[in-house]
Each structure stands twice: as C-alpha cells, then as structure tokens.
A and B are shown apart, each in its own frame.
Chain A
C-alpha cells in the first residue's frame, strides 16, 4: 500500500477535495454578483468574464502549447468583427453569429498555424506581432467598406434567448458568466484529454514526443484552432457588451497584455490566469481616476513580478506528464 503511494504521488485527499470544489463554488457565488452590487460593478464583472475567457484562450496556445503567440488580439478581433458585421449589415441575431465567430476565428488560427509552426521561439513571437499589425491596419483601411474604418462598427444588437431579450447589464453578465463556466469546464477536460497530454509531451521535449508517435503538426494546428476559437467566442461577448467594435480594441498592446496576463499569472494554471486577468483588466476599471497611470503601473508590476517570481504569481501545480 505504501509502495503504491510512493510510485504514484497524489496530493493529500483532503486538500485535493477542497481545491477541486473551491473553483465551482466561487463560480456559483459569482452568479449572485448582480443581486449584491450595482450595475457599474456588474459591468466590471462582465468584462472580467470576457477577458478571462480571452486570457484562458491565450493560455491554450502560450501556456499549454508553449508557442509564443503575441498577436492573440487578432482572434479576439475576428470574433468581435464577425458578430458586428453579421448583426449590423446582415441582420443575423447575435446567437446565430456566435458559431460563425468561433469557426472563423478558429479557421484563422488553424490557417496561420501552418506557417507559424515552422518558426520557433522569438521568430514566432515576431511573426505574430506582424499578423496583429496587419489585422489592425486592414480593419482601419476598411477594404470593401465592411469594417467601418478607424471608427469601427456601432449599434450592435442585443442578444435574445427563446424570445427573452438579454438587454439588462445583469442578463448580459449572466450570459458571460455561464459561458466562462463552460470554458472553465473545457479547460479542466483539456488537462485530461489526448490533446492536453500531447501538448505537455511536446512542450517538454518535442523530439522525444515525436519518437513516441505524437504528431506535432496536428497538435499545434489543433492548439491554435482551439485557442483562436475560444478567443473568437470572447470576441462575440465583447462586441455585445460594448455594442460597438473598433480597431483600437485589438491593437498590439492588447496582445501584450494578454501575453503578460498568462506569464505573470502562471502559464498553464487556470487560477493563475484568472488572477492575472483580475489584476490587469479589472483593477484598472476600479481605479479609473488614475487611468493615465495604468500602463506605467503595469510596466513596474510586470518587471517586479518577473524578477521576484519568474514562475508567475500562481504557478501550475507540477503534474505527471
């Protein structure tokens, strides 16, 4: 019996159960936010949920996939623009645009993954910066008069479910919160499924993984498609929350912030990424009076966290690969 526990180290049962339940409990408590706080706080919580999905999707590629994606705002932007264009120009209901937003963002991710996976490390990082810049410039230059140029697209409609209009901030918050819950479940399953395992093998030793039969091309394409698709989902929610999209929301600084959220929070760690999201996207909303200091403080915080805690604030627990 003791030999068994030695060969397969597992966390003590009591701690395991608490940490396994803490997440779902916190999520359930979060559902009550609109009952307790006023609408400005509910809006902040909704933005948190949207950016948490976005940051978790970046973590799929950067933290779990180990690929230096510094252009993640592209996929977020594709999702937001697809919803905005289909809703305002073609009159699609919001929920009908959702699958299109996810699929088109995922397709973009899979398509870019082809050339990107030939690059490693810093070269990949620089290429994704390039894609981000091209995306923003294209949205600004407005080819075919569909993206609205620098001003973007306004007047995005309200989602409705079974004839019920989700117009209030509370209703939108619940929508975002439920979607976040689904994404969190998905992340938990990703840890255990074939793709998640293959990602861990590849990240640790690509050559060894390849000799064990892991198809690196396939795994990397799937990783990009999954991360990009989830970002597209967050993009739809973002377009709905703001009822407007413009190129400024998807510039390179947003990609840098997402990248930093994952690395500062703890790559591959769901609580770490959520903590990072809260620090980088929610705290600035609370201290709006000091808005001009936002990136100044970010800069100091990013250096300080990396120097003092290079593994991130809440690093991933060590697991057997």
Chain B
C-alpha cells in the first residue's frame, strides 16, 4: 500500500511537469499544425537560466524562497522572448511552405538550442542547490511525500486552471480557439492570426520554462540533452490527451506521469522507456486523436 501511494505521488509530480511542458506542444500544434521540436529544449534552457541565477546568488544572504521566485521570473521572461524569436525567425517565413520544411526548421532549432546550452554551460551534469526549499517530508500511509512534490503538484494545478480560464473565458482565448479551428475563417472574422500565434509562442514557452525549472528542482540536476528526453515525454503526453486539445494535454500529462511511475515501480526500470514508446505507438494506432481529441483531428 505504501509503495502504491508513493508511486501515485511520484506520478502526479512528474505528470504535472509533463502537463506544463505538453501545453506548449499542444497549443502550437492546435494553432499551426506544427510539432515544435524545439519546445523541450526551450524548457530546459529555462532550467539552466534559473540554475545560473540560483548558483550565482548563493550566499548573497537572500532567502531560498525569494531566490527561487526570482529564478522563475527570469526563466519565464527569457524563454518567452526566445519563443517569440523562434516563431519570427524559424517558423513565420515558412507559414506557406511545405509542411516538411517547417518540420526540418523546427528540428534545426532544437539542435541549435540544445547545442547552445552545451556550448555555454558545458556537457557535464549540473547539480541544483539542495538547501533552497524546506526538506520537510510528510508520511502518508507509509509513503514519503516531500515539500517539493507538493509544491510542484499545487503550482501545476494552479497554472493549468489559470490557462484554462484564459483559453475558455477571455476574448483572447476565444481568438486562440477560433484560430485553431480554422485560420482563414478566423482571419475573416477580424482575428489577427499573427498576434494569436505570437501569444501562443509566449504562453507555451513561459509555462514550459516553469516545467523545465521544476524538472531541475525535482531531479536536482540539469544537462543539455534533457530537453530532448523530457520534451519527448511531454509530447507523448500531448498525443495521449489528443494533440491540439488543451485539457487533453493536462489529462495526458498526469496519466503519462502515473503510467511511468507504475511502469518503473512495478515492471522494470530498464524497459520503462520502451514500454512508454510502445504505449505511444499503440495510442497512435488505436486512437490517433487521443483521449479527448475530436474525431476529425486525425485528417492531417
């Protein structure tokens, strides 16, 4: 029973992180029908920027909470700007081009960001400082739940609720949903599609930067190829929920987190990744539109 509850909390923590990163993939795909392969790398770039602030300011006398908040603000701002630059430089000129050109441009952007991290911070694993947050743990039915886990789960839920409200209850959110359904019609209705796409490239990477920083804080490490690993998982989460579907990315993230935790806890950790990819292929074959996707989303 203790193991079970432990895996549920581990799964929810990782799932919250996957969901935050998956939202960036799904929003871009929903609006532009493009897999933004560079998204995972942007998120981890956020983690490195936060890490640099945290290690640079260590011993400055400020409390861990203040520093952490500053790290999140800095990472969010820088990554949101990077997201806009990415859209303007690598994607906007290809809006009318063949789909494959945009895919290769996205892969190029991914390689560029990943290797920029490697060139700036080096190829080694960086360790996140340990004493930032209280090391409090709670014991629930034989499982240990840490302060960091609770913080990640609560903040993910809050951020997702805020995004849900923004998408479904504001004028701008309505514009985003309209653009996702049909760009041309949205244009005819007076929606500035370019502005909508830019917004998506601010909100997605901003949430992703928080997700990336959570990855670093939770696993207490950061390395340059991490963006690929976590980006791919988050992307699988987005597909699981139905790519292009925002609540789907949230549900998909949490489900994948739980699935991963149980696969690692009960089956085999060396086959955990292979099982996850097999799940991905199974979903694609059985229900390519995902759990919450609309039926016609499959006709790409």
Contact = CB atoms under 8 A, between A and B. Distances in A.
Contacts of A141: 270-271, 274
A12 interface: no
**Secondary structure at chain A's binding surface: helix, strand, loop or mixed?**
helix
- Residue from B29, B90, B97, B111 whose CB has the most chain A CB atoms within 10 Å: B111
A120 B300 CA distance: 7
Given A130-B277, A137-B273, A296-B116, A123 B104 contact: no
B112 interface: yes
A137 B288 CA distance: 24
A299 B270 CA distance: 31
A65 B126 CA distance: 44
B277 A264 contact: no
A129 B276 CA distance: 12
B257 to A, nearest CB: 18
Select the residue from B107, B232, B288 with max chain A CB neighbours within 10 A. Answer: B107
A225 to B, nearest CB: 20
Nearest to B37: A256
Contacts of A311: 98
A53 to B, nearest CB: 21
A307 interface: yes
B229 to A, nearest CB: 10
B278 interface: yes
Contacts of B278: 130, 134
A259 B103 CA distance: 10
A38 interface: no
Size range of the interface on B? 35 or more
A293 B114 CA distance: 11
Given A68-B100, A306-B105, A310-B94, A292 B118 contact: yes
A263 interface: yes
Nearest to B279: A130
A299 to B, nearest CB: 3
B280 A126 contact: yes
B274 A123 contact: no
A130 B283 CA distance: 11
Contacts of A122: 29, 33, 35, 300
Contact of A264 (B98, B104, B119, B298): B104
Contacts of A133: 232, 273-274, 277
Main SS of the interface on chain B? helix
B272 to A, nearest CB: 9
A279 to B, nearest CB: 13
A140 to B, nearest CB: 8
Interface in B278-300: 278, 280-281, 284-285, 288, 298-300
B93 interface: yes
A138 interface: yes
Contacts of B104: 259-260, 263-264, 302, 306
Contact of B232 (A129, A300, A301): A129
A296 B111 contact: yes
A298 interface: yes
A120 B297 CA distance: 11
A235 interface: no
A298 B281 contact: no
B99 interface: yes
Contacts of A121: 99, 300
Given A126-B280, A300-B108, A138 B300 contact: no
Interface string A267-303: 1000000000000000000000000110110111111
A311 B99 CA distance: 11
A137 B108 contact: no
B110 interface: yes
Contacts of B273: 133, 137
B112 A300 contact: yes
A295 B239 contact: no
B217 interface: no
A204 B107 CA distance: 25
B82 to A, nearest CB: 14
A158 interface: no
B63 interface: no
A119 B298 CA distance: 9
A310 B116 contact: no
Interface in B78-105: 89-90, 93-94, 97-105
Given A125-B35, A130-B280, A301-B108, A310 B103 contact: no
Given A123-B300, A310-B101, A303 B90 contact: yes
A299 B97 CA distance: 19
Interface string A180-202: 00000000000000000000000
Nearest to B89: A303
A163 interface: no
14 contacts: A119-B284, A122-B300, A126-B280, A129-B232, A130-B277, A131-B281, A137-B277, A295-B111, A296-B112, A296-B118, A306-B94, A307-B89, A307-B94, A310-B97
